[in-house]
Structure 1
Amino acid sequence: MRDFDLTTLRLFVSVCESGNIARAGEKASIVGSAISKRLAQLEDQVGTPLLLRKRHGVVPTPAGQTLLEHARGMLDSAARIERDMQSYVAGSRGQVRILASVSAMSESLADDVAAFLRQPAHASIRVDLEERVSPEIVRGVREGLASLGVCWDATDHAGLQARPYRRDTLCVVVPAGHPLAARRKLRFADTLDYEHVSLPVNSAVQLMLQRQAAQAGRSVNHRIVVTNFEAALRVVHAGLAISLVPREVAEPVAAAMGLQLIPLAESWAQRRFILCYRDAQNLTPAAKLLVEHLASLAPP
């Protein structure tokens, strides 16, 4: 298949979002007939209709909806390339992209990066952060989508180099008055009789919890799946489920939300995070400086 033209994809996205070729043309200062010609060529290129013409506009076909999702991703990547290149034109001496787990993002990573950037010597370095689940972090670093990944060391990061970063401790969070609230310590198996609010099932911690439950001949009852710990704590506060959350995230808000934090009596509750990258020798100077700064924060 021939390469896609970004201008045509941009017009296609605009037409889908506005639902009207004429309005998309006004926005782009292009006559509607020119857009129609480009879209017809795009349909010829992919070999299937992309838009369904209706009386008052257009809507994407199922194939068009799929292309729309891909087009948005391609345009976002193109915009990121342009922005990164402009930073060099403007005199910036470096740019580092980090893929990080929800735990790292919710705890200390943002503050640690901010402290790095506040140093005068790093004023011309740009750092971009993007949240991903741990398997996607490792895959993204392997494929060159980011210079650096920050994830749990239990994640399979074979083929990548790694250095220690920070640590955290998982605990069981329950609402006040819950049957487990009076317990001083819990085994993970003790939580399996209750419904859980969990992070996405392909995250490293959820995969590990599923394995631990399977070893006990049980399964985790995921009542609700959320994408961040703040949402998980709100669900627990509402009394809908319990959750396993880093103490470092839950402790600052536990009292205000009426939550009980119970230590988890499992060796894997003490988690270590790592900085992973393809090859230290091939890191940019900016990335090397950032790795050294973050690695210096690892506990002894």
Structure 2
Amino acid sequence: MRDIDLKTLRLLVAVCDHRNIARAAEEAHIEPSAISKRIAQLESDLGVPLLSRSRRGVEPTAAGIALLEHARNVLFTMERIASDVAAFGGGLKGRVSVCASASAIAEALLDDIASFMRAPAHQNIRVDVEERLSLELVRQLREGAASVGVCWDNVDLQGLAHRPYRQDRLALAVHADHPLAAEASVSFEQALAHEHVGLPPATAVHTMLQRAAARVGKTVSYRVIVSSFDAAFRVVAAGLGISVVPVEVAETYRPVLGIRVVPLTDAWAERRFVVCFRDFDALQPAAQRMVEHLVERAARAAPA
């Protein structure tokens, strides 16, 4: 099969968007017959019809819809490649892809990235941030789908290089009328006597809590499973359970929702995060600078 050229893909996308070959041709400043010829050749090369033609215009076939999705991704990637590579023509530029755990994003990471991007020397650096489960984060870094990751240091990094980042401490978020609300601090074992609001089983914190409960011969009783800390706090505020959450995140919701935040006394409740990557020397200069900035900013914020 011949290689599929980008212009044909771009024209196919335009035809599908307009549902009309003539309008796509007008937009591309070429003759409709030229588009028809290119798409006919592509259909011949692939061995399947891509468009269904009628008096009202054209519609992608099932095969056309599948190709259209890939075509959009390919064109977007090519535009990114051109933009990122061209950016190296003048100063420190580029794009840094960051994937991070929910805890890291909910706490200080976005503020740290904003601080990085506000620096005059970094004004031409673009940053993509995606939330990922820790295991998926590690996989993306190992496969080269992301440049930099931020997650809890208890995760199996599978050989990734890493540097220390920030710390946090876990606590219980409880309703103001809950029996534990008046406590100055509690152990996780005490909390196991009550119903919990938790994050999905695939998250690192869910696994950690299950293991902590098993060590004392108990299990966590989940009344509600939610997908985010925001949802967890709102369920707690509704009086439907208690939730293990980072103190740094809880302090944002405490005055708004009227909940209580009770520190956990367990040693494992103090967590450390890391900035991880495959190979620092192999990172683009912009990504190297990002790693250095995150580590330095965290070090300045660390308690003496």
1-structure distance, mates of 2:283, 2:264: 38
Quick one: which amino acid aligns to residue 142 of structure 1?
R
**Which residue does 1:150 correspond to in 2?**
150
In the superposition, relative to structure 1, how do residues 17 and 265 fare at CA in structure 2: closer, same or farther (>3 Å)? Answer: farther
Who is 2:186 aligned against? 185
Q: In the TM superposition, what whole-angstrom CA distance separates every residue of 1:39-58 from its partner, at most 9, and x where no partner exists?
A: 44444444445555577455
Q: Can you give the 5+ residue segments of structure 2 that lack an aligned partner in the other structure?
A: none
Matched with 1:85 is 85
- The amino acid of 1:187's aligned partner reads F
Alignment partners' CA distance in 1, 2:58 and 2:221? 45
- Within-5 A mapping of 1:91-102: 91-95=90-94, 97=96, 98-102=98-102
Q: Distance in 2 between matches of 1:291 and 1:7?
A: 37
CA contact (8 A) 1:43 1:49 kept: yes
Give the letter aligned to residue 198 of structure 1.
Answer: L
Change (3 A) 1:283 1:44: same
> Does the 8 Å contact 1:100/1:129 carry over to 2?
no
Distance 1:161 1:26, change over 3 A: same
Determine whether 1:281 maps to 2:281: yes
1:92–1:126: 8 Å Cα contact kept in structure 2?
no
Given that 2:192 and 2:220 are in contact with CA atoms closer than 8 Å, whether structure 1 keeps it comes out as no
- The superposition leaves residues 14-72 of structure 1 with CA deviations (integer Å, 9 ceiling, x where unpaired) of 44455555555555455555444444444444444555557745555555444444333
| Distance apart, 1:79 and its partner CA | 2.5
**Is 1:132–2:134 an aligned residue pair?**
no
Aligned residues: 296
Counterpart amino acid of residue 109 in structure 1: L
Q: Distance in 2 between matches of 1:58 and 1:163?
A: 54
Secondary structure at the counterpart of residue 271 of structure 1: strand
Match of 1:114 in 2: 114
What secondary structure sits across from 1:107 in the alignment? helix
Deviation at 1:165, TM superposition (A): 0.5
Q: 1:219 to 1:252 in 2, by over 3 A?
A: closer
Determine which structure has more spread, i.e. the larger CA radius of gyration: 2
Q: How does 1:1-300 map to 2 (within 5 A)?
A: 3-29=3-29, 32-51=32-51, 56=56, 60-89=60-89, 91-95=90-94, 97=96, 98-120=98-120, 122-123=121-122, 126-133=125-132, 134-177=134-177, 181=181, 184-185=185-186, 187=188, 190=191, 194=195, 196=197, 198=199, 201-209=201-209, 218=219, 221=222, 223-226=224-227, 228-237=228-237, 242-296=242-296, 297-298=298-299, 299=302
Corresponding letter in the other structure for 1:163: R
- Secondary structure in 2 matching 1:154: coil
Partner amino acid, structure 2, of 1:9: L
> Offset of 1:212 from its aligned partner?
5.3
CA gap 1:195/1:115 in 2 versus in 1, 3 angstroms: closer
C-alpha change, 1:9 and 1:189, in structure 2 (3 Å) is: farther
Q: Which amino acid in structure 2 is aligned with residue 171 of structure 1?
A: A
Letter in 1 for 2:147: S
Any idea what SS the aligned residue of 1:159 has?
A: coil
- Conserved? CA contact 1:198–1:222, under 8 Å: no
Runs of 4+, deviation exceeding 6 Å = none
Distance 1:75 1:224, change over 3 A: farther
